[in-house]
Amino acid sequence: MQLVLASSNKGKVKEFRQMCEGEITPFSEILEPFEIVEDGESFAENALIKARTIYEKLGEEYLVIADDSGISVPLLGGEPGIYSARYAGEGASDRENLEKLIGEIKAKGVQKTPAFYTAAIAIVSRYGDYVVHGWMHGEVIDEKRGEKGFGYDPIFIPEGHTQTLGELDQSIKAEISHRGKALRMAKPVIRMLMRK
Ligand code: ITT
């Protein structure tokens, strides 16, 4: 079986490639690009929608994983949460979403506030569907720092650190991130399914 990643997000693809030591193929290398409607009500539902959609196109010889993720800010009632990719509107860029979040934090009159990232990883194969989750807690600040990572990383300071994910090395992010934690739980399941 071939391991395929059902994601078009370049930041995610880069992180999965690093964390899987290259043994994963983004679906864009096999299929023509097309839009997947993510109309689930949770990270888990949306991850399953993405993985199932790609699995159904590819067939039984494939094991497909998908990541649905986002950042939640309790001060903003949990926003943007599952809407993180379209916080500034449908089709918004990472930069526009980031600027919108900075604006919302400033509008609350604070310079920093607690926040957390969530990742749901869905695993779909001919043997059934699985979902695992990972979280990373920390704070968001009202200014961008650093160029590393993607999305909301330039304003997120993980618990126990003083630098943002825009400043910290990717290897540190892989150790502590929502995606890294979820993938470490997913790996034994993936290995077991690949051997079946
Ligand atoms: P795919 O569905 O193709 O994987 P997407 O960007 O649409 O790509 P999501 O629906 O899961 O993915 O949206 C996740 C958004 O949450 C993403 O656009 C980022 O803005 C944010 N996000 C998730 N994980 C992040 C991380 O590790 N660092 C920074 N931002 C992150």
Dihedral sign for Cα atoms in the order 71, 168, 95, 65: negative
Catalytic residue positions, numbered: 68
pLDDT at position 175, please?
98
Residue 19 has pLDDT above 90, yes or no: yes
Average pLDDT over residues 165-184: 98
pLDDT in tens, 79-137: 999 999 999 999 999 999 999 999 999 999 999 999 999 999 999 999 999 999 999 99
pLDDT in tens, 27-57: 999 999 889 999 999 999 999 999 999 999 9
pLDDT in tens, 130-160: 999 999 999 999 999 999 999 999 999 999 9
- How many whole angstroms from 196 Cα to the centroid of ligand 1? 31
31, 53 Cβ separation under 8 angstroms: no
DSSP 3-state of 147:
coil
- How many whole angstroms from 161 Cα to the centroid of ligand 1? 22
Q: Is the CB of 142 under 6 A from ligand 1?
A: no
Domain that holds residue 41: 2-195
CATH number at residue 167: 3.90.950.10
Q: How many domains does one find in the chain?
A: 1
Token duo for residue 180: 């890294």
Residue 196 has pLDDT above 90, yes or no: no
Strand order in the sheet with 62-72: 25-26, 2-5, 62-72, 112-125, 128-141, 156-158
Of the candidates 181, 102, 108, which has an alpha carbon nearest to the alpha carbon of residue 145? 102
Q: Is the CB of 8 under 6 A from ligand 1?
A: yes
CA atoms within 13 A on the CB side of 147: 0
Distance CA 175, CA 157 (A): 14
Atom of ligand 1 nearest to the CA of 9: 8
Residue 21 has pLDDT above 90, yes or no: no
Residue 192 has pLDDT above 90, yes or no: yes
What is the amino acid identity at position 107?
A: A
Residue nearest to atom 1 of ligand 1 (CA): 7
Could you tell me if residue 137 is left (phi over 0), alpha (psi between -120 and 50 degrees) or otherwise beta? beta
Confidence class for position 62, pLDDT limits 50, 70, 90: very high
Q: Where are the beta strands (DSSP E) in the chain?
A: 2-5, 25-26, 62-72, 112-125, 128-141, 156-158
pLDDT at position 33, please?
86
